[in-house]
A = this chain, B = another copy of it.
């Protein structure tokens, strides 16, 4: 992300790990630093290829495990909101979606229910925008009720 100040970024990372009770392993630091220097929103494999140059013995499993841990503790963000199985629809009219991040339920969001999406500036050099996809991410009624119930039974 910030190309300058890598030391500060890593110091924040170490602090966050301490806060969350995560052991500060060499692997974790190299994985996090590699990802934060990559501008391309990489896949685990792509991160693995970079990290391997510094720790040739690291395993792909370790990369996956730590990326998951980092996601769970809010150190990283998943760009690909639906990266699981493909989801399809026959409704070809332009529209958007509500997506429950827990159960992956998808509901329609009609374009007339949304303020028009519009760029204020030009896209990156040479990029041709064809359409916008808007997703309202959140929690559906069913999942909300479920987590309510869980919370109540604990207290």
A106-142 contacts to B (CB < 8 Å): 106-107, 109, 112-121, 123-142
In the complex, the count of this chain's copies comes to 2
In contact, A118 and B115 (Cβ under 8 angstroms): yes
From B71, B83, B90, B113, contact of A82 by CB (8 A): B83
- The answer to whether the Cβ of A150 comes within 8 Å of any Cβ in the partner chain is no
A144 CB–B CB distance under 8 Å: yes
- Decide yes or no: A141 and B115 within 8 Å by CB, A86-B78, A88-B79, A134-B134 being known contacts: no
B128 and A138 within 8 A (CB) = yes
Please tell me if the beta carbons of B47 and A88 are within 8 angstroms of each other in the complex.
yes
A136 with B132: CB separation less than 8 A: yes
CA distance A23 to B42 in the complex (A): 40
Known A-B contacts A41-B106, A67-B88; the reply to A127 vs B140 at CB < 8 A is yes
Q: Are B120 and A113 in contact (CB under 8 A)?
A: yes
CA distance A142 to B116 in the complex (A): 29
Within A18-75, which residues are at the interface with B (CB < 8 Å)? Answer: 32, 35-36, 40-45, 47, 67, 71, 74-75
Apart from the given pairs A79-B97, A131-B138, 10 other A-B contacts in the complex at a CB distance below 8 Å = A1-B89, A32-B90, A36-B91, A43-B88, A45-B85, A82-B82, A126-B140, A127-B138, A127-B139, A133-B135
Give 5 pairs: A residue, B residue, CB < 8 Å, sorted on A. Answer: A78-B87, A79-B82, A79-B88, A80-B83, A114-B118
